[in-house]
């Protein structure tokens, strides 16, 4: 759970403050490169054993975040603190030591596996790098055990990636990620490429592993129904900004940010009666270019309740009593500090 005040400075889990990632986009030899701010001042926490879902449309900065956590992407600001240590300030050597703690499952299961390696060797590879103390026999034992965990029968050990279905390949990807017994598993669109029936198998597996191994999970997806199924808490990104954070049920029952509302009401249901009775699109337009994002609130160009202030001033992320955090001028008016109410009442 994100619990800012008491857990501030805690040595547990992941604590991210002001995470910012900026890309430089070349515009040709004689022009100054454009700046694309893929993430701006994002704060988040993941406590041990919790899962945090990250949603947002394409280009909102989700993958940039995942890469930053693995140091595959340098920051333009902010810090990423894992169990008390800022990984952005670590030496290579120190980072290598804690690297087994944080593992990632990639989107494209086949593309992320070396085509010339057999399944057992693919799963053993992280052990060879990070667990040099293990002998061949022990390694083999761990590999077979891990295969069992992800539901791959032993006869798959000698197969090559092209002999696997998408779901089987993704199980190999998960096996590689959990073989070192990580504490934090990052899944970036890890089930998006899978068919519905196989996606359900992998989702069920991830949830079960999370419970069995006490993993923290950062689960990134553009699919809200999938995120709802996996996550305890959820953050919503828009154009690199965190616009809303809330525990799962609060987010879906009482979304406060207009973008979160639009996202939720754009999700289609397999119940045609719901589709018939309800709604035209909640918002029009497309996501603006992140190279030239709108002034003030990044959502104002599409927001149905935008006001004059929204074009000028970026709304602050404010905390609600139920644990939600919202960055919206209008929604946050519902959040009147009790002292102010009393003062007004007395006048």
Partner 1 sequence: MKEPLLCVDNLTTRFTTSSGTVLAVDRVSFSISRGEVLGIVGESGSGKSQIFMSIAGLLPPNGQVSGEARFLGRNLIGADESELNRIRGRALAFVFQDPMTALHPFRTIASQLTEMLRLHRGLDHGAARAEALRLLDRVHIPDAKRRLDMYPHELSGGMRQRVMIAMSISCNPRLLIADEPTTALDVTVQLQVLDLLDELRRDEGIAIALITHDMGVVSRLSDRVIVIYAGNIVEEGTTEEVLLSPTHPYTQGLLASMPDLYRPLSALSPIPGYPPDGRQARKGCMFAPRCSRAQNVCRDVFPELTARTGRQRQACHFPISGSQGLAS
Ligand X SMILES: Nc1ncnc2c1ncn2[C@@H]1O[C@H](COP(=O)(O)OP(=O)(O)O)[C@@H](O)[C@H]1O
d(CA 245, CA 267): 19
| For ligand X, the closer CB: 21 or 205 | 21
Name which of 124 and 331 has its Cβ closer to ligand SF4.
331
Nearest approach, Cβ of residue 243 and ligand SF4 (Å): 7
Contact (Cβ atoms closer than 8 angstroms) between residue 214 and residue 48: yes
229 in contact with partner 1 (CB under 8 A)? yes
The CA–CA distances, whole Å, from 29 to 26, 36, 116, 328 equal: 8, 18, 40, 40
Task: Map residues 274-313 to x or -, x wherever contact with partner 1 holds by CB under 8 A.
Answer: xx----xxxxxxxx--------------------------
Residue 63 binds which of ligand SF4, partner 1, Mg ion, none (CB < 5-8 A, kind-dependent) = Mg ion
| Sites of contact with ligand X (CB under 6 A) | 23, 25, 36, 38, 56, 58-64, 290
The answer to whether the CB of 73 falls within 8 A of the CB of 67 is yes
Q: Contact 332/345 with Cβ under 8 angstroms? A: no
Q: Both tokens of residue 217?
A: 């999970």
Q: Out of ligand X, partner 1, Mg ion, none, which partner does residue 179 contact, by CB within 5 to 8 A per kind?
A: none
Instruction: Choose the one of ligand X, partner 1, ligand SF4, none that binds residue 38, judging by a C-beta under 5 to 8 angstroms depending on kind.
Output: ligand X
Per the CB < 8 A criterion, the answer to whether 14 and 41 are in contact is: no
Torsion of CA 257, 62, 39, 51, to 10 degrees: 70
**Binders in 288-307 for ligand SF4, by CB under 6 A:** 297, 299-300, 303, 305-306
The least CB distance from residue 287 to ligand SF4, in Å, is 14
User: How far is the C-alpha of 144 from the C-alpha of 124, rounded, in Å?
Assistant: 10
State which of positions 52-81 bind Mg ion (CB under 5 A): 63
* Other Cβ atoms closer than 10 A to 316: 11
Which DSSP string do the residues of 225-253 spell out, in sequence order?
HHHHHH-SEEEEEETTEEEEEEEHHHHHH
Instruction: Point out which residues bind partner 1 (CB under 8 A).
Output: 57-58, 165-168, 195-201, 203-204, 222-226, 228-229, 252, 262-264, 266-275, 280-287
Instruction: Point out which residues bind ligand SF4 (CB under 6 A).
Output: 257-258, 297, 299-300, 303, 305-306, 310, 315, 328-331
């Amino acid at each position: 759970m994100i619990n800012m005040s008491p857990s501030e400075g805690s040595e547990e889990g992941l604590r991210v403050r002001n995470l910012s990632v900026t890309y430089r986009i070349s515009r040709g030899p004689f022009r100054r490169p454009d700046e694309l701010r893929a993430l701006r001042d994002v704060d988040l926490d993941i406590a041990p054993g919790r899962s945090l879902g990250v949603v947002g449309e394409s280009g909102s900065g989700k993958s940039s975040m995942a890469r930053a956590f693995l140091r595959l992407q340098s920051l333009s600001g902010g810090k990423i603190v894992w169990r008390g240590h800022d990984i952005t300030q670590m030496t290579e050597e120190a980072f290598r030591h804690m690297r087994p703690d944080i593992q990632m499952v990639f989107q494209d299961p086949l593309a992320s596996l070396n085509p010339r390696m057999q399944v057992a060797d693919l799963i053993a590879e992280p052990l060879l790098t990070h667990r040099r103390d293990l002998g061949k026999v022990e390694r083999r034992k761990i590999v077979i055990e891990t295969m069992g965990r992800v539901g791959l029968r032993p006869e798959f050990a000698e197969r090559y990636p092209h002999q696997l279905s998408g779901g089987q390949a993704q199980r190999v990807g998960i096996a590689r990620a959990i073989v070192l017994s990580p504490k934090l598993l990052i899944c970036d669109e890890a089930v998006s490429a899978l068919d519905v029936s196989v996606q359900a198998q992998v989702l069920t597996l991830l949830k079960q592993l999370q419970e069995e191994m006490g993993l923290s999970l950062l689960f990134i997806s553009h699919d809200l129904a999938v995120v709802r199924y996996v996550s305890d808490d959820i953050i919503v990104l828009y154009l690199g900004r965190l616009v809303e954070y809330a525990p799962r049920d609060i987010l879906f029952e009482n979304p406060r940010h207009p973008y979160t509302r639009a996202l939720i009401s754009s999700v289609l249901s397999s119940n045609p009666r719901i589709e018939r009775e309800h709604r035209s699109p909640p918002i029009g337009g497309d996501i603006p270019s992140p190279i030239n994002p709108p002034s003030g609130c990044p959502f104002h160009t599409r927001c149905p309740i935008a006001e004059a202030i929204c074009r000028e001033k970026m709304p602050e992320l404010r905390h609600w009593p139920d644990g939600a955090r919202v960055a919206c001028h209008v929604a946050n008016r519902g959040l009147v500090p009790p002292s102010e109410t009393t003062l007004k009442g007395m006048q």
